[in-house]
Structure 1
């Protein structure tokens, strides 16, 4: 259930398709299974079981007692009967040809008359097709005179007697025979003489009968005229002409004094039968033929007129002509039916599902779906934000920037609210695309950047801050990043068993202790008082105050650098730049010069004891002397 037209006169869509093209059966079943646990679908309900056809529906009518709904559709040609007491499909019956329109001859569904597209009339009962007869020419509409039990069938073409008049076939159901047809002026067919009609021949398009009052019959023709016949005298009593286009829809009011007619150009006129001039003229606005006209009355005794073409349904005030509300489905409309004395409207339309609309201001829900009133009351108590889900709020400058300022006050796509307007989301997207054709590319690039930034942030894990042993926590975090195990930090740092290691001061690691420095010799730690570590002297005899510090250090071991370049003694360390200046010819080597890698060893030595000079090595053969051996691998 959805609020499709918010405003002063809200319209609720009880059932109906949300898209123009229905899904295939196999895909629809799959989506139904996949969306079984969707919260949005769990809140939906089905008003009538299988209130749909495989492809499209042509006509729908409600019985007088309100217990049955009959509808016809295709493909295959068939009609359905729904029971409103059970809210389910009672039965479906297939026919030989497509059903153009039908009538319920009884107060329930037990007797129905169906006009088929192959010029045949079929009488159906609950057991099946009771009788079938064939018409001389194609019929356009059906009407029924209850007082005389006569069926009127307006037809296409001219009569066969050469009078050049159209015909309305009359079938007496009590005697079971055709009566003399009524002659209707539909214009002469000058294109082909001697035949009943050509392609553009005139026709009687529609019929209407004032059943509950005077019983006059009105017939709309293709030459923009309306002819009235009295069933008692079996003759024409009046002609009403001068309309714009063919007359395609007619309807009498309940009192029988008002007649509404619609034309093929979308014009609507209301007449008082006592006055040939129209009381009201309205334009549907779409330029399409009017298909349905219905006189309705609100609970406050306000008279309304419903008009519908295949695109939109509009309800007008019959006296002032003001637009009361409108309904614009997503699919084309073929027929509109009104449940008597209620606010429920049913439509036969293109598309698989048939529409059901509910207008609370028009009346209460029918007794067979009285729970709809409670649902509407609950929806009205909800916040108004859901009302404008399909609208975008724009201020007046923003509206003018999108070149939509000319629509203010002319369409229901703009709804005034405070200092701006609510604009239909579909119209807003189209206007924004026209104003900036590259808006979709910019939006796509923006979403890509957001997605990249989100993934990038997920790869960078922040270091967890702890109370004590922050370096240990950082080290563990770094180790887990190398191993790419994101659950290590949660397992150790987040485990309650190791919580005191990073919270209690008794477990603090003393990095200045001898044990820590022995286990971590390469770690530079500050002094005991927090000062940075002292510089290490690399000279052989120590610094100028080395003697004084030696006593303080005791037997403290320090690292000494020795070179293998000079055998024996200590080599004076020189910078690389000074070496480059000393040896100008770098392409040639001198005897005893080492080129390339250099071996460096670290020898521990105590400061408190004097170290004796190392013994001189034995004399070795000069590297420049030529070897007498012929084995080249011996020198390796």
Structure 2
């Protein structure tokens, strides 16, 4: 058992071939033996024992009491009867020729009528073939009128009396004789020869009876018409024409007021008997003849229409006309049957195994296999995301708070599951908005709060990795951290004009170059932080230096450095230019080096040594009271 179609209407495949080509018997038996103890196959089960034929199956039907399933197939020509109470094959019986179709005359399997492809009719009972009769021409379908115990057999070709009409043979089972056939217009055939006619002769393809209502018989023809006969008057009462192609499938609704038909071009239409215009017109999509049509009802009394060709089964909603679900087996189909009052479908197909599909939305499992419902619930538990993709689970109190209690059990929008319900996502959004009109404002306030919290968290020093000049980025971020405004996209870090500084290899800052050392003389190459810095500050008045120094704040960018200061005892002490020159006197002339680039001019003025000693000023006194005090100004030129 596996989930074939996972959507709003899931479909489960209980039995049926998984490949288009059947495996040889010897290979199939070998695989069964090897997979007998496989852990993946331990949970597999066979719903109906030997629900298969040696080559293919032609038709399958379920008895009225639901206790028996009869299906016909080949090769050799045979039919099988399965007991649903035992979930096994009751018996099989071979026939002389292949079975075209069959009907059950009783509420169980004990009386059945089989139409063979050699123009013969066989009546079967539990003991065997009870009676056999032969038709004048090949039959196409079977229908049964219970009130009159008459069997209707639509046939191929024109009647023998030269009237140019096709015939529907009537067999009275109470009298045991054929009655006068009904004549149906199937077109003329000038080249007909004998009773059968030519290759392109017309035919009556299909028949159906409104058994539990008004009892009208409808016959679909090869010229695209549907003729209605009243069994009480034995005459034609109406004709419905204008269909494209041949009419290949017919079915009355349960109330008998509407008739659905399928054509050989793959079109499905539904008519109200009181209106000649179709109220439902759909294209099946494959362009293949429709095999059969079935009217269905869900547990919530929703009307569905099933149509099947040899490639696909489609189920539409009669009221809206929308496609409800579809089933596409791997092999060609010949016939589809529905188990009454359930969601189970049985198929006859061209493969060895017959298909069994289960649609939970269409109804519960039949009474003879209630354990299928439990298995479906277990599979839904294992794969909730696949099965309930467009649903939201709500408990009973939540259903009451949203005001959806009146929809429980009346619509498929609320699907019961465990201690709550699965509600359609679209319905949940609409109802929640009606219950709380301010829901979107609350959601907006929540998102604003989350954004504010995110900004607060971003105040912590961030880390931004760049291709080049990572040291410069770290310096800028450190200054932002001091201002408690860390933003990785602010200032030069987020400006496109400075993007090349952090991306282009040619823009790498070389700390060993002369230009960099001239601007930053106190920077040691390879070290991120310097011990002390002094910057240029342009001031209008020297008295304002103290206030400027206190109010100044670091800015994002590169700061020009023109001089450095010495550090004593961990504190900065400004040094005048004269003291630096004094220190240079102790350096031998030969060891002095000049880093000046460009032209240089030196002028010598002769002086006497005595005069130089008299003009020499004494060294400044060192005041220990000012030791450890920092200068109020960072401008070194004030002390020159």
Q: TM-score category by the smaller chain?
A: 0.5 to 0.7
Secondary structure of residue in 1 paired with 2:380 = helix
Once residues 196 and 383 of structure 1 are traced to their aligned partners in structure 2, the CA distance between those partners, rounded to angstroms, is 58
The 1:373–1:203 alpha-carbon spacing in structure 2 relative to 1, beyond 3 Å, is: same
The 1:183–1:63 alpha-carbon spacing in structure 2 relative to 1, beyond 3 Å, is: same
Once residues 387 and 301 of structure 1 are traced to their aligned partners in structure 2, the CA distance between those partners, rounded to angstroms, is 23
Question: 2:154: which partner in 1?
Answer: 154
List runs of 5+ in structure 1 lacking aligned partners: 389-416, 418-636
Once residues 301 and 118 of structure 1 are traced to their aligned partners in structure 2, the CA distance between those partners, rounded to angstroms, is 43
Question: 2:43: which partner in 1?
Answer: 43
Question: 2:56: which partner in 1?
Answer: 56
1:181 partnered with 2:185:
no
Residues 483-562 of structure 1 mapped to structure 2, 5 A cutoff: none
Question: 2:306: which partner in 1?
Answer: 306
User: Is this contact kept in 1: 2:8–2:387, CA < 8 A?
Assistant: no
Once residues 387 and 189 of structure 1 are traced to their aligned partners in structure 2, the CA distance between those partners, rounded to angstroms, is 55
Once residues 194 and 18 of structure 1 are traced to their aligned partners in structure 2, the CA distance between those partners, rounded to angstroms, is 47
Once residues 264 and 349 of structure 1 are traced to their aligned partners in structure 2, the CA distance between those partners, rounded to angstroms, is 19
Question: 1:109: which partner in 2?
Answer: 109
Secondary structure of residue in 2 paired with 1:368 = coil
Residues 228-267 of structure 1 mapped to structure 2, 5 A cutoff: 228-267=228-267
The 1:178–1:195 alpha-carbon spacing in structure 2 relative to 1, beyond 3 Å, is: closer
Once residues 127 and 383 of structure 1 are traced to their aligned partners in structure 2, the CA distance between those partners, rounded to angstroms, is 49
Question: 2:296: which partner in 1?
Answer: 296
Deviation, structure 1 residue 106: 0.2
Deviation, structure 1 residue 319: 1.6
Once residues 32 and 385 of structure 1 are traced to their aligned partners in structure 2, the CA distance between those partners, rounded to angstroms, is 32
Question: 2:590: which partner in 1?
Answer: none
Deviation, structure 1 residue 195: 5.4
Question: 1:212: which partner in 2?
Answer: 212
Secondary structure of residue in 2 paired with 1:92 = strand
Once residues 52 and 143 of structure 1 are traced to their aligned partners in structure 2, the CA distance between those partners, rounded to angstroms, is 26
User: Is this contact kept in 1: 2:272–2:279, CA < 8 A?
Assistant: yes
CA displacement 1:324-362 (0-9 Å, x = unmatched): 000000000000000001000000001000000000000
Secondary structure of residue in 1 paired with 2:37 = coil
Over the aligned positions, Cα root-mean-square deviation in angstroms equals 1.6
Once residues 218 and 32 of structure 1 are traced to their aligned partners in structure 2, the CA distance between those partners, rounded to angstroms, is 48
Secondary structure of residue in 1 paired with 2:157 = coil
The 1:197–1:14 alpha-carbon spacing in structure 2 relative to 1, beyond 3 Å, is: same
User: Is this contact kept in 1: 2:10–2:387, CA < 8 A?
Assistant: no
TM-score (norm 1): 0.60
CA displacement 1:499-525 (0-9 Å, x = unmatched): xxxxxxxxxxxxxxxxxxxxxxxxxxx
1:139 partnered with 2:139:
yes
Residues 574-585 of structure 1 mapped to structure 2, 5 A cutoff: none
Once residues 387 and 75 of structure 2 are traced to their aligned partners in structure 1, the CA distance between those partners, rounded to angstroms, is 37
Once residues 131 and 289 of structure 2 are traced to their aligned partners in structure 1, the CA distance between those partners, rounded to angstroms, is 33
Residues 346-361 of structure 1 mapped to structure 2, 5 A cutoff: 346-361=346-361
The 1:88–1:276 alpha-carbon spacing in structure 2 relative to 1, beyond 3 Å, is: same
Deviation, structure 1 residue 192: 3.4
CA displacement 1:364-390 (0-9 Å, x = unmatched): 0000011000000111111346769xx
CA displacement 1:93-116 (0-9 Å, x = unmatched): 000000000000000000000000
Once residues 352 and 214 of structure 2 are traced to their aligned partners in structure 1, the CA distance between those partners, rounded to angstroms, is 40
Question: 1:279: which partner in 2?
Answer: 279
Secondary structure of residue in 2 paired with 1:296 = strand
Once residues 44 and 329 of structure 2 are traced to their aligned partners in structure 1, the CA distance between those partners, rounded to angstroms, is 19
Question: 2:224: which partner in 1?
Answer: 224
Deviation, structure 1 residue 164: 0.6
User: Is this contact kept in 2: 1:257–1:273, CA < 8 A?
Assistant: yes
Question: 1:77: which partner in 2?
Answer: 77
Once residues 265 and 239 of structure 2 are traced to their aligned partners in structure 1, the CA distance between those partners, rounded to angstroms, is 21
CA displacement 1:540-589 (0-9 Å, x = unmatched): xxxxxxxxxxxxxxxxxxxxxxxxxxxxxxxxxxxxxxxxxxxxxxxxxx
Question: 1:605: which partner in 2?
Answer: none
User: Is this contact kept in 1: 2:149–2:174, CA < 8 A?
Assistant: yes
User: Is this contact kept in 2: 1:162–1:194, CA < 8 A?
Assistant: no
User: Is this contact kept in 1: 2:170–2:181, CA < 8 A?
Assistant: yes
Residues 378-457 of structure 1 mapped to structure 2, 5 A cutoff: 378-384=378-384
User: Is this contact kept in 2: 1:260–1:293, CA < 8 A?
Assistant: yes
Question: 1:598: which partner in 2?
Answer: none
Once residues 65 and 185 of structure 1 are traced to their aligned partners in structure 2, the CA distance between those partners, rounded to angstroms, is 37
Moved more, 193-202 or 291-300: 193-202
User: Is this contact kept in 1: 2:380–2:387, CA < 8 A?
Assistant: no
Deviation, structure 1 residue 295: 0.3
Once residues 155 and 35 of structure 1 are traced to their aligned partners in structure 2, the CA distance between those partners, rounded to angstroms, is 49
Question: 2:338: which partner in 1?
Answer: 338
List runs of 5+ in structure 2 lacking aligned partners: 389-424, 426-640
Secondary structure of residue in 1 paired with 2:353 = coil
Secondary structure of residue in 2 paired with 1:118 = coil
Secondary structure of residue in 2 paired with 1:212 = coil
Secondary structure of residue in 1 paired with 2:259 = strand
Question: 1:19: which partner in 2?
Answer: 19
Once residues 195 and 219 of structure 2 are traced to their aligned partners in structure 1, the CA distance between those partners, rounded to angstroms, is 23
Question: 1:434: which partner in 2?
Answer: none
TM-score (norm 2): 0.60
CA displacement 1:112-143 (0-9 Å, x = unmatched): 00000000000000000000000000000000
CA displacement 1:241-262 (0-9 Å, x = unmatched): 0011100000000000010000
User: Is this contact kept in 2: 1:160–1:196, CA < 8 A?
Assistant: no
User: Is this contact kept in 2: 1:259–1:270, CA < 8 A?
Assistant: yes
Deviation, structure 1 residue 194: 6.3
User: Is this contact kept in 1: 2:137–2:195, CA < 8 A?
Assistant: no
Secondary structure of residue in 1 paired with 2:368 = helix
User: Is this contact kept in 2: 1:312–1:326, CA < 8 A?
Assistant: yes
CA displacement 1:577-604 (0-9 Å, x = unmatched): xxxxxxxxxxxxxxxxxxxxxxxxxxxx
Question: 2:577: which partner in 1?
Answer: none
